[in-house]
Amino acid sequence: MNKINIGDPLDRVDGRLKVTGQATYSGEYKMPGLTYGVLVPATITSGTITAMNIAAAQRSPGVLAVMTPFNAPKVPGYQPGAANPVKGLKLFNDQKIFFNGQPIALVVAETFEKATYAASLVKATYQAEPFETDFYRNFDQGVIPNGGKYKDYIRGHADAYKSAPVIIEQDYMLPSEIHNPMELHVTIAFWEGKDKVVLYTKTQGLMRSQTAIANAFQLDPANVRIHSRFVGGAFGSALRTWPHEVAAVQAAKMLQRPVKLTLTREQMFTLVGYRPLTIQKIGLGASPDGRLIGITHESHSQSAIYEEFSETAVAVSQFLYNTPNVNTRYKVVPLNVGVPAPMRGPGEATGSFALESALDELSYQLNMDPIELRLKNYTDADPQRNLPWSSKYLKECYQQGAERIGWDKRPTKPASLRDGEWLVGYGIGCGAFDSNRSRTQAKIKLLPDGTVNIRSAASDIGPGTATAMVLIAAATLGLSAGNIVFELGDSSFPLSPNQGGSRTVASVGSAVHAACIALKQKINSLSGLAVDSTAAIDYSTILQQHNLPLLELTQESDSTEEAKQYSSYSFSAQFAQVYVHPLTGQVKVKRMVAVVDAGKVVNYKTAASQLIGGAIGGIGMALMEEAVFDDRFGRYVNGNFADYHVPVNADIPDVEAILIDKPDLYINPIGAKGIGEISLIGVAAAIANAVYNATGKRIRSLPITPDKLI
Ligand code: MOS
């Protein structure tokens, strides 16, 4: 038996299925009678649909239905007085248009091509109204979001930075960015009788999708079955059930046939959220020896007029550095745009770009090394919550990253280091992200052949969830990985949280761990061993000896009271070496070193992949990604993959991933902190700071395109 330990690099258990095309994604399920839905977007940005002509579309070959706000069956959860009413856009419920691209019809046909053609025949007339999509013009309309979480924060004195001897006060801009996972958003829905529905859909939360569909159609959640076994990336865009998914379920009910609704790449820009355009003001005040006297962080970001979106953009400034005075403010500006959504490192990635850029600016003003400045303001306890950290190895991140990137070669004077024609610079950016853990259940089954099956309704958007769970189970049971199967992606499995907020290993992993311990104890007692014996056992023999067909049990795990005595975050220090061409302004990220304290590493191989993926996302954020609005029409001018740039292989350098790999003893039995979000947080600042080091040009608005450097 190959003994395996937590932390060993295990190949992805579903890797072969994925690379050979045998992994079935939501849109790939075949079933008799499948029909195809295509959405028709509104061409105005605000107003009312006064009439629609759908006759030509209805007559078009193969068309089965054209659903519009004028003929759509009512969704019960959209109606006033519904129990658990659906929040946000109530698609096809009335004729109001809130943003350009909002669907006005769903055409369903026998083939995708027939539906696409018929969709082009749908005509609408509108009563257009004035609209607001210009963030800058509406900046002063910003409001503090509902709910206490986002109210103004003050520790010590507000705006204390203003009276400090050394001051930085700057604005930083981050444009809207689109998640753009490889897999399009897709839903197949069909009804099994009057009150039972099944969906194959792209989701990061089986339970959340189940609840959303149950609420929309006022069904017993047990009668809503969600399948989402493989997800081709999401980055936060599949953390909720979107209105078009409800529409697919509605159409399937109307037709009494399965309906598959796939968004186009262009629709992915308008219908499934994005990281919102944000302007942040940072004020830093310091003593001449580099001690922070005050931090002020104010953030404004865009939101939708029909639904408020908020994120924790100013949170990092409240606790990342040790300073007596901090004040933060967060506002959102409602516009005629689609609603944003969490996007990898939601809030923190945005906030750390501003904070870590400002800190870099301060370091030059103080004539101090940026790492030394961070060390000078290092905090050994959480100054915001006034709690000890459950674990923090950020100093180790600084040190190991500096060593690997060759920080000693960083020029202290900007624009002073060259390699041939190219200017060379080094930068650092840091971040933190909450260690989350949610209530989770796992069911474990020991089969007669001694193999083990474990199930939980978790989601996997690509990080290797099943692989991590197999590893945890194998290590806990003392079995080889090949003897364990972990199944996820089905809402009929035991309760599991969203794959969001970097909580999967801490939550699902803890439940799997608990289930394995319980199974082992049961086997121990059957074998006459002490309950907590760690002796190797032959599982199948014990079943036979006791004449048992199988053993099955379910365990639940949740965060503990003890964990609440600590403040828990993952920490990152990202390092970049960039080359900038002085004539063309081209930026090449030459090397990146990503160093993350994410607690105990469960699978070094997939964890390192997360760090590399986050670095790539951060390179896109720093240098390429920008969804550009034309405010005359209220729509994107680059809402497609030809014009919206994401990094490709040629843009990606050697990324070295380093994990500190020290267990956090308080937050879960595995000792793992989250890794998904933290991998991105700090990267954009590291690159922007390296660009300054290379060129002496401080770019405070992303992306750093060549025009800004020449
Ligand atoms: Mo992450 S933005 O919680 O998918």
Helix (H, G, I), strand (E, B) or coil at 670: coil
Answer whether 344 contacts ligand 1 (Cβ < 6 A): yes
Query: For ligand 1, is residue 181 a contact (CB within 6 Å)?
Result: no
- List the structure tokens of 417: 């280091």
> Tell me, what's the pLDDT at 360?
98
Q: Is the CB of 342 under 6 A from ligand 1?
A: yes
| 343 pocket-lining for ligand 1 (C-beta < 6 Å) | yes
Instruction: Write the pLDDT tens digit of every residue in 285-296.
Output: 999 999 999 999
Name every residue whose Cβ is closer than 8 Å to that of residue 646 and which is 6 or more positions away in sequence: 180, 620, 624, 625
pLDDT of the residue at 531: 86
Q: How many Cα atoms sit within 13 Å of 518 on the Cβ side?
A: 20
Ligand 1 close to Cβ of residue 246 (< 6 A)? no
**78 in Cβ contact with 89 (< 8 Å):** no
Say what the pLDDT of residue 147 is. 80
Q: What pLDDT score does 48 carry?
A: 98
Report yes or no: 567 and 383 within 8 Å, Cβ to Cβ.
no
Residue 267 has pLDDT above 80, yes or no: yes
Ligand 1 atom closest to the CA of 341, numbered from 1: 2
Distance 623 CA to ligand 1 centre (A): 22
Amino acid at 386: N
DSSP for residue 43: S
Q: Which residue would you say has higher pLDDT here, 532 or 22?
A: 22
Distance 499 CA to ligand 1 centre (A): 7
Is ligand 1 within 6 A of the CB of residue 709?
Answer: no
User: Angle between the 504-526 and 465-477 helix axes, to the nearest 10 degrees?
Assistant: 30
pLDDT at 538: 86
Mutate to test the pocket of ligand 1, among 677, 680, 681 (most ligand atoms within 8 A of CB): 677
Residues in the chain: 710
Place of tokens 């004729």: 95
- Provide the pLDDT confidence category of residue 2 given band limits of 50, 70 and 90: low
pLDDT at 535 over 90: no
Q: Is the pLDDT of residue 211 over 90?
A: yes
CB distance 239 to ligand 1 below 6 Å: yes
**Å from CA of 498 to ligand 1 middle:** 9
- pLDDT tier for residue 530 given thresholds of 50, 70 and 90: confident
For ligand 1, atom 3, the nearest C-alpha belongs to 500
Residue 601 CA to ligand 1 centre (angstroms): 20
Q: Is the CB of 236 under 6 A from ligand 1?
A: yes
Q: How far is the CA of 466 from the centre of ligand 1 (A)?
A: 18
Q: What is the spatial distance between Cα 518 and Cα 551, in angstroms, rounded to a whole number?
A: 11
Which pLDDT tens digit goes with each residue over 40-85? 999 999 999 999 999 999 999 999 999 999 999 999 999 999 999 9
503 CB within 6 A, ligand 1: no
Which residue blocks in 574-703 are alpha helix, DSSP H? 604-623, 683-695
Question: Which pLDDT does position 532 carry in this prediction?
Answer: 85
* CA torsion, ordered 320, 323, 327, 333, to nearest 10 deg: -30
pLDDT at 536: 80
Mean pLDDT of 151-158: 97
Distance from Cα 344 to the centre of ligand 1, integer Å: 5
- Please say if the pLDDT value at position 572 is more than 90: yes
- Ligand 1: which of 237, 274, 344 to mutate, most ligand atoms within 8 Å of CB? 344
Q: How far apart are CA 661 and CA 8, in angstroms?
A: 12
**pLDDT digit string (tens) for 176-190?**
999 999 999 999 999
pLDDT of residue 689: 99
User: What pLDDT, on a 0 to 100 scale, did the predictor assign at position 540?
Assistant: 87
pLDDT tens-place string over residues 80-95: 999 999 999 999 999 9
Whole-number Cα distances in Å, 423 to 411, 484, 574, 578: 11, 52, 20, 8
CB count in 10 Å sphere of residue 530: 11
Q: What is residue 26's predicted lDDT score, i.e. its pLDDT?
A: 98
Atom of ligand 1 nearest to the CA of 498: 3
Which tens digits make up the pLDDT trace of 118-134?
999 999 999 999 999 99
Strands 47-53 and 123-128: antiparallel
* Residue spans of alpha helices (H) in 110-153: 112-119
The finding on whether 235 has its CB within 6 A of some atom of ligand 1 is yes
Kindly report, residue by residue over 309-360, the tens digit of the pLDDT: 999 999 999 999 999 999 999 999 999 999 999 999 999 999 999 999 999 9
HSE of 479 in the Cβ direction (CA atoms, 13 Å)? 25
Query: How would you classify the pairing of strands 197-201 and 278-286?
Result: unpaired
The C-alpha atoms of residue 171 and residue 545 are separated, in whole angstroms, by 72
Mind listing the pLDDT tens digit for each residue in 431-460?
999 999 999 999 999 999 999 999 999 999
pLDDT tens-place string over residues 641-659: 999 999 999 999 999 999 9
Give catalytic residue positions.
Answer: 677
- Backbone φ and ψ for 35, nearest 5 degrees, come out as -115, 165
Closest atom, ligand 1, to C-alpha of 344: 2
- 186 Cα to the center of ligand 1, angstroms: 18
**Measured from the CA of 237, which atom of ligand 1 is nearest?**
4
**Alpha-carbon span 415 to 706, nearest angstrom:** 16
Structure tokens at 701: 């608005």
Percent of the chain with pLDDT over 90: 96
Q: What is the structure's pLDDT at 1?
A: 52
Average pLDDT across the chain, whole number: 97
Q: What pTM value is reported for the model?
A: 0.97
- State how far Cα 121 lies from the chain centre: 37
| Ligand 1 atom nearest to 342, measured from its CA | 2
Query: Which residue has a Cα nearest atom 4 of ligand 1?
Result: 236
pLDDT band (50, 70, 90) for residue 362: very high
Closest CA to 114 of 70, 67, 76, 58: 58
φ, ψ of residue 427 to 5 degrees: the values are: -145, 155
Q: Which atom of ligand 1 is nearest to 500's Cα?
A: 3
Whether 501 lines ligand 1, by a CB cut-off of 6 Å, is yes
**What span, in angstroms and rounded, lies between the C-alpha atoms of 293 and 163?**
9
Contact 546, 491 (CB under 8 A): no
